């Protein structure tokens, strides 16, 4: 089994801001990392999730309190990283991707 990276779908709407489309800055950063490190797409499953909550796939897997995105869920289905810096660090260690500059 592979680790799974959950990202928000690009160009989502928010009922609090009618008529506007948004992107998640952290998810967009990770999209760039995926684009420049194609081995990540081969070694990691990528799942795009709608903005609206509840985010059923995440609730079922890691609990209702862990719906923030992005999130990297390890193959065991229980361990996860839900902050972009942690995800980048994990990719650097496990996939040899460049590290985030301090």
Convert the pLDDT of each residue in 26-85 to its tens digit.
999 999 999 999 999 999 999 999 999 999 989 999 999 999 999 999 999 999 999 999
Evaluate whether 30 touches 5 at the Cβ level (below 8 Å). Answer: yes
Structural domains in the chain, sorted by start: 3-95 (3.40.30.10)
pLDDT (0 to 100) of residue 40? 94
Q: State the pLDDT at residue 10.
A: 95
pLDDT at residue 87 in the model = 98
Whole-number Cα distances in Å, 73 to 21, 24, 46, 58? 27, 18, 10, 9
**β 71-73/80-81 pair status:** antiparallel
φ, ψ at 81 (rounded to 5°): -125, 125
pLDDT recorded at residue 98 = 93
**pLDDT score, position 12:** 96
Helices 25-36/84-95 angle, 10° precision:
10
Q: Which of 80, 19, 40 is nearest to 69 (CA)?
A: 80
Q: What is the pLDDT of residue 67?
A: 95
């Amino acid at each position: 089994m592979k680790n799974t990276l959950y990202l928000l779908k690009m160009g989502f709407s928010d009922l609090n801001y009618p008529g506007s489309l948004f992107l998640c800055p952290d998810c967009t950063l990770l999209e760039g990392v995926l684009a420049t490190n194609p081995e990540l797409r081969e070694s990691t499953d990528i799942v795009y999730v709608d903005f609206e909550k509840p985010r059923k796939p995440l609730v079922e897997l890691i609990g209702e309190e862990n719906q923030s995105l992005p999130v990297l869920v390890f193959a065991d289905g229980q361990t996860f990283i839900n902050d972009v810096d942690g995800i980048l660090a994990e990719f650097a260690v496990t996939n040899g991707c460049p590290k985030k500059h301090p």
